[in-house]
Structure 1
Amino acid sequence: MRPTGVEVTRRALLAGVGLACTSCGSLPDVPSVAPGRRLSGVLTSQARGGLRCGWTIAWPPGRRRGLPVVVVLHGRGNDHASAFSSDYLALDRYLARAVGLGTPPYALAGIDGGEAYWHARADGDDPAAMVVDELLPLLSRHGLDTGRLGFLGWSMGGYGALHLGGVLGPSRVAAVAAMSPALWHEYADSAPGAFDDAADLAANTVLGRQSDLDGVAVRVDCGDGDPFAPVTRDYRAGFDVPPAGGIEPGDHELAYWRRLAGQELAFLGAHL
């Protein structure tokens, strides 16, 4: 979804929808730098029941082959293009600026994950398997180093980054950065459709499983006005060593995610 300028309802926020609330804060301009090469295509995902899923790879300016890669997981209501669109997150421009300022170069890649909250569902939709079994081989074929990855996500994708980072563990994942992760303690509080049932939430929650990320560099950020802030505080408190990031002024909105984008990308680059 694109910014509308209409205030986002609390219900939409609790549903983890990646909408912009431009009335809640000024929307930063994207960096006025030239991005590197961007390549998009379509993957027919067997893990998602034969759905045709769009994908994009964004390289920084300059070298392209052999770079490590960060997989970007979008929020609910978004798609793979939201990460790179100049009227949404424009991460390719933030990446170009970060690399220009000295961050070690790496590529970004996103793919359409639908609204299944980046884990296997009872109906057979499995966007997590799509990422691991289908997207990563595609990235390797395009000359990227997928030996140890980074994950970055916002809202639903923030949860997904933490979940997939923990599932794959430190042998496959170097760093994870989550902005405004959609987290709930109880199934009754979760967004409709986020989990199949209470058992699905219990099987796939990241709460209480922070040790799965031992050996992975972790950053978790959330705005203090975000409905997910209380559970995010609890999640951050569950680490033996506090993760980078924190609870900063902000809301569940595009303006907040743009303000953080440069910091998130520099963090990931430092640990890949």
Structure 2
Amino acid sequence: MRDARRWLSRRSVLIAGASGLAVTGLAVGTATGKLPFSPALQRAVGVASSNPTTQLGSTRVERVYSEARGRMVDLVFLLPSKTPPRGLPMSLMLHGLHGNARSAAPTGTLKQLSSDVARKAVPAYGLVAVDGGDNYWHQVHPNDDPMAMLLEEVPQWLRARGFAGDTGQPFACTGVSMGGFGALLYTRRRVERRQPPAAVATLAPALITNWPEMAKRHIFTGMEDWVSLDPLRHIDETKGVANAIWCGTEDSFITGVRRYIDAAHPAVAHTAHGKHGDTFNKTVVPSLVSFLGKHVPRTTV
């Protein structure tokens, strides 16, 4: 009996130690996308299974030269696994004012995407973000045209890396704040080219309803320039594209968003308590990932 108790005590210590290691390892894995111990140990502490929910997604960051913007930019990929299939469908993710490609996605986006893909809740797809500056995703300064970058260069970059099928065209576009404005403008430009995306999704898009307020941003040459680009004035041109929009009711853009919802009748129109920023945006990430998943092209891969 004494030997048996000694063996049980030793086994308890080993399990407790392994559990502590698992907690530490999972914390590291969440930050790095890699579990820092063997599959055998993962199984021993109950964090691995035949369903690969522990195979965290992957973030890739590259520096590329954009002819359209006349500068080097970050190209950031959020991928559902470390070894995505060739031709993986991709959606654009456009950042907000004073943001960049690395901060474009709301908190939890990669975790939600990789988990949903692993559970087969959505088809496999990825997100791609790129530095667009603070120009509301259109040309403001000479030799700096972020919209041309999205339309002309991003498909080339995706195709060269084995993403987005033979054409390299993103199947959808989503954006936050200024990026939401840009996503709707991008969708319109794709429609004009007779290459419409399958879906557009926006989080608190910067739909400002009056020129004096928009003029404070010093982004447009004048009211006519803004009117020619303002998504609220060109809703009919993108009505054929599946649409989703989310916004907090305490957000400064809620008036424009409600006006857009009333006119566009998007498939998803969600407003709830919340201010402008990531605190609200991260709460709607599951809905965003699910919405995009419904529009992934089945023949791209």
TM-score w.r.t. length of structure 1: 0.81
Instruction: Name the residue aligned to 2:56.
Output: 35
1:34, distance to aligned residue in structure 2 (A):
4.8
Q: 1:117 to 1:34 in 2, by over 3 A?
A: farther
Distance 2:85 2:248 in 1: 34
Instruction: Name the residue aligned to 1:220.
Output: 245
Instruction: Name the residue aligned to 2:107.
Output: 89
Helix, strand or coil at the partner of 2:158: helix
What is the 5 A alignment of 1:72-151? Answer: 72-83=93-104, 89-101=107-119, 102-145=121-164, 146-147=168-169, 149-151=171-173
Instruction: Name the residue aligned to 1:245.
Output: 269
Instruction: Name the residue aligned to 1:268.
Output: 292
1:92, distance to aligned residue in structure 2 (A):
1.8
Q: Deviations over 1:18-39 (max 9, x none)?
A: xxxxxxxxxxx99996532322
Helix, strand or coil at the partner of 2:231: coil
Helix, strand or coil at the partner of 1:108: strand
Instruction: Name the residue aligned to 1:256.
Output: 280
Q: In 2, are the aligned partners of 1:161 and 1:177 still within 8 Å (CA)?
A: yes
Helix, strand or coil at the partner of 1:195: coil
Which letter does structure 1 place at the counterpart of 2:109? L
1:134, distance to aligned residue in structure 2 (A):
1.1
- Structure (1/2) with the larger helix percentage: 2
Q: Deviations over 1:131-185 (max 9, x none)?
A: 1111221011111123452111101001111111121127330111100000112
Tell me whether 181-190 or 115-124 shows the greater mean CA deviation.
115-124
1:193, distance to aligned residue in structure 2 (A):
2.5
What is the 5 A alignment of 1:185-204? Answer: 185-190=209-214, 191-204=216-229
Q: In 1, are the aligned partners of 2:227 and 2:233 still within 8 Å (CA)?
A: no
Tell me whether 118-127 or 245-254 shows the greater mean CA deviation.
118-127
One of 152, 173, 177 as aligned partner of 2:174: 152
Instruction: Name the residue aligned to 2:66.
Output: 45
Which letter does structure 2 place at the counterpart of 1:139? L
Q: Give structure 2 stretches of 5+ with no counterpart.
A: 1-29, 34-52, 297-301
Q: 1:33 to 1:152 in 2, by over 3 A?
A: farther
Q: Once the two structures are aligned, what percentage of the paired residues are identical?
A: 28
Which letter does structure 1 place at the counterpart of 2:213? D
Aligned residues: 239
TM-score w.r.t. length of structure 2: 0.74
Tell me whether 146-155 or 111-120 shows the greater mean CA deviation.
146-155
